[in-house]
Structure 1
Amino acid sequence: MLNLRTAPLVVIALSVAALVTLPATPAHAQDAGASTPKQVKKAQRKEARAKKNAELGELEKNGYNPGGEQNDYPQNLQNAQAKVNAKKAGQPAPASTP
């Protein structure tokens, strides 16, 4: 049975052992945890904008011109999207319709 003098020593020893065995977190992990909600939303908006710009760039490479003639707007966009989808699937690009 533990007497009153050894009980606090045991608690201290167990506390020190627990602290020694905890892994140290890298500095960048601490910074990521300290992000404010505003910073998180800003990063999400930036990521979404980059994704949309990449998608638009792919469409433009495949014949879509958002600032060009709008008479055939939906068909031009659909043709470019079909080409992008075919490239992603590894198939030959479909012939575009006039």
Structure 2
Amino acid sequence: MFQNRTIALCAAVLVSVMLVPAATFAQPMGASEASSSVTSKAQRKAESKARRARKNAELTELKKHGYNAAGSQATYPQNVQNAEARQKPSTNAIPASAP
């Protein structure tokens, strides 16, 4: 019986020792901390949407100039470079209005 009490006491001490640090570090967020984290989350979300929109616009432009994302991956870098070259106007081209 003495051994059971010792085990129960040790278990209680162990549990209390484990819970005390968790309770001391758990601090409720203040109103300013909560609003700043919400603001930063909204800001990150807006930045992510803007990045995604730019990426999708760039991909759409490449597709207009012949890039096929579902095409052969064996020549992947060259396919993108070819589409980018077609996308940019040539600086050496002679204007149509020149004599």
State TM-score, norm by structure 2.
0.50
The offset of 1:69, in angstroms, is: 1.4
Distance 1:40 1:90, change over 3 A: farther
Correspondences of 1:23-42 after superposition (within 5 Å): 36-42=39-45
State the match for 2:52 in structure 1.
49
**Which structure would you say has the larger RCO, counting Cα contacts within 8 Å and 6 or more residues apart?**
2
Aligned residues between the structures: 56
Of Structure 1 and Structure 2, which has the larger fraction of its residues in helix?
2
> Which protein shows a greater Rg?
2
* Corresponding position: 1:74 with 2:77: yes
* Corresponding position: 1:60 with 2:50: no
State TM-score, norm by structure 1.
0.50
Aligned identity (percent) is 50
Please tell me the root mean square deviation across aligned C-alpha atoms, in Å.
2.2
Distance in 1 between residues matched to 2:40 and 2:92, nearest whole Å: 43
Could you tell me which runs of 5 or more consecutive residues in structure 1 were left unpaired when the two chains were aligned: 1-34, 93-98
